[in-house]
Structure formats: C-alpha cells, structure tokens
Amino acid sequence: MTTSVRPAGPGDDAFLQATLSDAFGSTMMAVHDELLDARGDAAAVADRDGRPVGLLTWRDDGRGGWEIVSLAAVEQRSGAGTALLEWFREHARRHRITRLWLITTNENSTALRFYQRRGFDLVRLDRDAVTRARELKPSIPATGDGISIRHELELELLL
C-alpha cells in the first residue's frame, strides 16, 4: 500500500469538507483570535489504493512562510500525515519558502510529538488564546484527554 500525495483539486471538495468536519467539528477554526476556513488557501491530498486518506491545508503568511492550517488523516498512524508533511516540505522549498509553521493547543500531545519528531520546534505560547477563541467558536471543547484546553502553541520548521 503506497501513499501518494498530490495538490487537491475541485473533485476533492467533498473529502475536504467531510474530513475537516470530522476532525475539527466544522471547516471553521478559531486561531490567532480570528475565525478562518480550515480549507486554507491551498491543500494537498494523500491517496492510498486510489482513495483519499489524508489532507493538509495551508495559507501564505505574507512573510516568506506558510502556515499549516490543518493536517488530518482518515486513519491515525497510517503514514498519511508523514507523507503529506514530507511532500509539503519539498513543495515549500521549490517555492522558496523559508519557514513552515502551525498552531496547536496545549493538550494536543499527539500533534506536539508528531511535529517535533519531524523537526519542528516550539517557538511561542499564547496564554489563554483558546479561552478567547471560544468567543468566536463556542463549540471548542473545554478539555481534551482530561486536560484543560486554554493555550495556543506555535511550532516552526526553518527551511
């Protein structure tokens, strides 16, 4: 079972919508004190055996970097997330992007472990950012894995 990654196309809209809604409750995310569409400016899809199994969306930050808005795999630990991130890193290099970065939340130890093992570094803590974000998106849960969700953490990878 080989995983391949490609830029998303119009035929992927239903997959993006369903996968983001399943992973995040909707396609809208409250991050950086703003409500944004998790589909981002651009997207990539991971396919295995002719069916989509993961996605990565991003947006240009206007400062030489790309922000990963979302990364979701249909099955955890399937290799789709790693394949997407490797493809994204090379895609960014070809476009002369110097920084990849993302925001996650304080309780998301799975994401922290995933990104740090792939070279990302924790560079910023925004205390109580998620508490503020609930004003924009009240459906954000109060806890995850028994941990209070309150802060945003920024991770980066310099290319």
pLDDT, residue 25, reads 86
Residue 73: per-residue pLDDT: 92
pLDDT, tens digit only, all 159 positions of the chain: 789 999 999 999 999 999 999 988 889 988 888 888 888 789 999 999 999 999 999 999 999 999 999 999 998 888 999 999 999 999 999 999 999 999 999 999 999 999 999 999 999 999 999 999 999 999 999 999 999 999 999 999 999
pLDDT of residue 90: 98
On whether the pTM is more than 0.85, the answer is: yes
User: Checking DSSP bridges between strand 99-105 and strand 65-73, what pairing results, if any?
Assistant: parallel
DSSP assignment of the chain equals: --EEEEE--GGGHHHHHHHHHHHHSSSEEEETTEEEETT-SEEEEEEETTEEEEEEEEEE-SSSEEEEEEEEESSTTSSHHHHHHHHHHHHHHHTT--EEEEEEETT-HHHHHHHHHTT-EEEEEETTHHHHHHHH-TTS-SEETTEE---EEEEEEE-
Measured distance CA(89)–CA(59) in Å, rounded: 14
pLDDT at 71: 96
Q: Which residues pair with 56 in a beta bridge?
A: 44, 71
CATH number at residue 120: 3.40.630.30
Give the per-residue pLDDT at 75: 82
CB 106 within 8 A of CB 150: yes
Q: What residue numbers bound the domain in which 64 lies?
A: 3-158
Q: How many domains does the chain have?
A: 1
